[in-house]
């Protein structure tokens, strides 16, 4: 395979920015996701790729439900916060305004553009991720954010991926890690063939 071409072409894929949330056994959890897509009109379905090592995937399997809130453009910092691993940042939802979705009580972001709640209908192993297919069972747009504004708020969309496998934090001799909301994925970098994969966003 032409690795450079693969990297370039995947760089041209478009992504949105979402909060994937779940509640199980009284515990609420959330993470930032941009590998999210609508997958059917009828019934309405949504697919999301969730990393196998995440806390989120186990909770979704147990709860059989999840919710997807659409970040508004001004919520990049919040996306950065929820994009940290739960090991680095436990209780990520603490201090964030949420409401319970009607079926599973998954916490949806009170200030997002809108949200859908989904019932899991299938999961499929997908390399280091799991594809979760959910049927939409409830949805709401947040009227105050989508109506009556001269400049309606916009969802966050990118034609370059905002998700990077990089930016684990400061390295010896390097400055601090990028600020939250820069789009760098704060999970530990992985080495392939002994080489550190540099982050195209911050070049570290
Ligand atoms: C901009 C951005 C997009 C992300 N998109 C995804 C995604 O689509 N799927 C995923 O599994 N992790 C994604 N991540 C990483 C997770 O948000 C992060 O690893 C997660 O919080 C860890 O999961 P946990 O809190 O459930 O352990 C993204 C991170 C950022 C910063």
Evaluate if residue 199 carries a pLDDT over 90: no
Evaluate whether residue 185 is within a structural domain. Answer: no
Compute the CA torsion angle 3, 9, 12, 17 (nearest 10 deg): -60
Contact 40, 83 (CB under 8 A): no
The better pLDDT of the pair 155, 47 is held by: 47
Burial class (CB in 10 A: 0-12, 13-18, 19+), 165: middle
Cβ-proximal residues to 86 (8 Å cutoff; 6+ apart), any chain? 29, 31, 54, 55, 92
Strands 45-51 and 36-40: antiparallel
Mean pLDDT lowest among 11-25, 80-94, 144-158? 144-158
Evaluate if residue 1 carries a pLDDT over 80: yes
CA separation for the pair 137, 42 (Å, rounded):
12
How many Cβ atoms are within 10 Å of 10's Cβ, its own excluded? 10
Contact 64, 22 (CB under 8 A): no
pLDDT at site 164:
54
Give me ligand 1 centre to Cα 203, in Å.
20
* Beta bridge mates, 120: 134
pLDDT at site 82:
96
Give me ligand 1 centre to Cα 148, in Å.
33
Evaluate whether residue 195 is within a structural domain. Answer: no
pLDDT at site 156:
72
pLDDT averaged over every residue in the chain: 80
* pLDDT tens digit sequence for 93-126: 999 999 999 999 999 999 999 999 999 999 999 9
Of the pLDDT bands very low, low, confident and very high (cuts 50, 70, 90), residue 60 is very high
Evaluate if residue 2 carries a pLDDT over 80: yes
Evaluate whether residue 182 is within a structural domain. Answer: no
Evaluate whether residue 123 is within a structural domain. Answer: yes
The count of domains in the chain is: 1
Token representation of residue 102: 């009607």
- Ligand 1 atom closest to 80 (CA): 31
Evaluate if residue 182 carries a pLDDT over 60: no
Task: Please tell me whether the overall predicted TM-score, pTM, comes out greater than 0.85 for this model.
Answer: no
CA separation for the pair 44, 67 (Å, rounded):
14
Evaluate if residue 160 carries a pLDDT over 60: no
Mean pLDDT of 138-147: 74
Evaluate whether residue 77 is within a structural domain. Answer: yes
pLDDT at site 141:
93
Evaluate whether residue 142 is within a structural domain. Answer: yes
- Evaluate: CB of 50 within 6 angstroms of ligand 1: yes
Evaluate whether residue 162 is within a structural domain. Answer: no
Evaluate if residue 172 carries a pLDDT over 90: no
3-state class of 119 per DSSP? strand
Residue 34 sits in a domain whose CATH number is 2.30.110.10
* Beta bridge mates, 161: none
Mean pLDDT of 43-60: 97
- Evaluate: CB of 32 within 6 angstroms of ligand 1: yes
Cα end-to-end span (Å), the chain: 25
Evaluate whether residue 193 is within a structural domain. Answer: no
Contact 80, 17 (CB under 8 A): no
Q: By residue range, what is the domain housing residue 143?
A: 14-156
């Amino acid at each position: 395979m032409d690795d450079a071409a693969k990297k370039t072409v995947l760089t041209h894929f478009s992504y949105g920015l979402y909060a994937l949330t779940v509640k199980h056994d009284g515990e609420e959890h959330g993470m930032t996701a941009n590998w999210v897509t609508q997958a059917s009109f009828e019934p309405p379905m949504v697919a999301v790729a969730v990393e196998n090592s995440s806390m989120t995937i186990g909770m979704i399997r147990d709860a059989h439900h999840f919710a997807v809130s659409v970040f508004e453009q001004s919520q990049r910092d919040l996306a950065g916060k929820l994009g940290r691993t739960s090991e680095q940042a436990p209780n990520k939802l603490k201090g964030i305004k949420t409401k319970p979705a009607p079926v599973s009580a998954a916490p949806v972001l009170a200030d997002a553009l809108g949200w859908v709640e989904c019932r899991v209908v299938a999961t499929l192993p997908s390399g280091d991720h799991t594809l979760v297919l959910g049927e939409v069972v409830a949805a709401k747009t947040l009227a105050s954010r989508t109506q009556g504004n001269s400049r309606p708020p916009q969802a966050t969309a990118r034609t370059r991926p905002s998700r990077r496998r990089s930016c684990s934090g400061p390295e010896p001799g390097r400055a601090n890690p990028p600020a939250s909301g820069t789009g760098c994925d704060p999970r530990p970098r992985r080495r392939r063939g002994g080489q550190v994969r540099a982050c195209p966003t911050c070049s570290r």
